[in-house]
Amino acid sequence: MTTHDWTLETQLVHNAFKTDRSTGAVSVPIQHASTFHQSSFDDFGQYDYSRSGTPTRQALEDTIAALEGGTRGLAFASGMAAISTAFLLLSKGDHVLVTRDVYGGTFRMITQVLSRFGIEHTFVDMTNLNEVKQGIQSNTKVIYMETPSNPTLGITDIEGVVQIAKEHDCLTFLDNTFLTPALQRPLDLGVDVVLHSATKFLSGHSDVLSGLAVVKDEKLGDELYSLQNSFGAVLGVQDCWLVLRGLKTLQVRLEKASQTALELATFLKEHPAVKKVYYPGLDDHPGADIQRKQASGAGAVLSFELENQAAVKELVDGVTLPVFAVSLGAVESILSYPAKMSHAAMPKEEREKRGITDGLLRLSVGVENGEDLKRDFKQALDQLKPALVNQS
C-alpha cells in the first residue's frame, strides 16, 4: 500500500519521511549546509544553495503538500511571509477581494503595503455570496478567504466562492490556519492556494514561527516557488524540524481540543455573564450547515462576548489555566483579547463593524482536561461583579 491509501491520521506518522533512507533514523535529519558540492562539472545534484532548497525543508514541503492533497508545498519564515509571498503573484493594477474579518496582519499587508504597489482591494462579508459577486471588478485577480474567520468564526461557503471565482477567471486563496488539513481540505474543494500560519495548530506547541503555502496546479506551484526563491523568506531547518515533529500529533491534538471546545461553547452559552458565543460547532451558528458540509469538524477556537472591557479584565485576571496571550493552536489553552492583540492593527470603527467589540475574547482550546477548563471558567465567570453581568 502507498501512503495515500491510509487515513490522514496514519499518514501524519507514516509518510515518505518516516525513516531516513541512508541511516534508518526515525526522525528527519536536520541538514544545516547552506551550499552543496556538485560532484561533476556537467552533472549538478538536486540541491545547490539552501535558499533554493534543502532536504529538511523539502521533507516539510512534501509532507504538507501530501496532507493537503496538493502537488507542491512551500515553507516560509512565518505565516505572514507565506501570505505576503502569495500576494506577489499579483501585479500593479490588479484587485483583490478579501474577507471582511481577515487576520489583522493580512489586513495590514493589504491596506498598507499592497496599496503602495498599486494593488487594489475590497473587503466583503464572505459569508454572503451575493456580496462576493457584487465585489468582483474587471481587474479582480484573487478572492481571499479565511474560514472560519478570525475572531468571530464566520463560515464562508468555499465551493460557492470557488464557483464565482471560476466564472470571473480569478484565483482563490484560503487561509486554512484554524482547521488544518485534519479538518478541512480546501484544494479538494477547488481552491488554488492554501495558506497556513504553521505557528498555530500544525506545529502546536507555541515554540516555532512558520508559514506554509500549498497548491495543486503545477504551473502555479512553479510560479510560487520562483517567488519564494526570489523573495527569500524561507523557513530555517531547525524550525522545519519542529513543524514536522508537531505534525505527527496534529490529529489527536485537534480532535481532543475540538471536543472540549464544543463542551466549553455549550457551557459558556448558558452562563448569564456571557452575552454571545461564536463557535461553528453549535447548531444555532448561522454557518453550521455549511461547516458540516465542507469540513470534518468545527475546530478548537471559539469566541465569546462579555458585557464590556471591565468584565473582560476581571475574567482574564480570574482564570488560572489558559495563558493570556496572542496566538492560538497550541497544547495549552490560549485566551486572547482581539481588540488589543490580533486586531490592534485595525482601527476601532473597522473592528466594531466586524463584531470585534471591547467585550470580545477569543479562546483557543488546548489539550487540558475539559472538565478542569470548564471549572476554571465557571469560577472566574461566577465571580464577575453583578454590574459586569449582562442584564438582559
Q: Which residue is nearest to ligand PLP (CB)?
A: 79
- Site size for ligand PLP, by CB under 6 A? 15
Instruction: Tell me the C-alpha to C-alpha distance, in Å, between residue 358 and each of 221, 311, 348.
Output: 41, 10, 9
- Stretch near ligand PLP under the rule CB under 6 A, chosen from 14-22, 65-73, 74-82, 249-257: 74-82
- Residue pair 294/188 in contact by the 8 Å Cβ criterion: no
The minimum distance between CB 211 and ligand PLP, in angstroms, equals 5
The yes or no reply on residue 176 touching ligand PLP (CB under 6 A) is: no
Q: Which range touches ligand PLP (CB under 6 A), out of 165-173, 195-203, 277-285, 292-300?
A: 195-203
Among 211, 280, 287, 297, binds ligand PLP (CB under 6 A): 211
Residue with cell 499518514: 11
Question: C-alpha dihedral over 17, 22, 25, 27, to 10 degrees?
Answer: -30
3-state secondary structure of 199: coil
For ligand PLP, which is the closer residue by CB, 146 or 192? 146
The percent of the chain in helix, strand and coil, each rounded to the nearest 5, is 40, 15, 45
Per CB under 6 A, 362 contacts ligand PLP: no
CA-CA distance, 324 to 260, in Å (whole number)?
18
Binding of ligand PLP at residue 239 (CB under 6 A)? Answer: no
Among 50, 177, 184, 357, binds ligand PLP (CB under 6 A): 177
**Cβ atoms of 65 and 217 closer than 8 Å:** no
Helix (H) or strand (E) holding 95: strand 95-99
Whether 292 is a known active-site residue: answer: no
Question: Which is catalytic among the residues 175, 192, 239, 358?
Answer: 175
CB neighbours (10 Å) of residue 367? Answer: 19
| Three-state DSSP state, 238 | helix
8 A C-beta contact, residue 340 and residue 216:
no
- Report the residue from 68, 157, 175, 305 that binds ligand PLP according to the rule CB under 6 A: 175
Annotation says 47 is catalytic: no
Which of 346, 265, 246 lies closest to 305, judged by CA?
Answer: 265
Query: Interacting stretch for ligand PLP, rule CB under 6 A, among 8-16, 194-202, 263-271, 275-283?
Result: 194-202
Give the residue with the Cβ less far from ligand PLP, 12 or 174. Answer: 174
Is 49 part of the annotated catalytic residue set? no
Q: Catalytic residue among 47, 103, 278, 337, which?
A: 103
Among 50, 85, 152, 197, binds ligand PLP (CB under 6 A): 197
**Residue 85 near ligand PLP by CB under 6 A:** no
- Residue 351 found at the interface with ligand PLP (CB under 6 A): no
103 as an active site residue: the answer is yes
CB burial readout 83-103, b (16+ within 10 A) else e: bbbbbbbbeeebbbbbbbbbb
Cβ nearer to ligand PLP, comparing 191 with 311:
191
Active site positions, annotated: 51, 103, 175, 200
Rule CB under 6 A: which residues touch ligand PLP? 78-80, 103, 105, 146, 150, 175, 177, 197, 199-200, 209, 211, 328
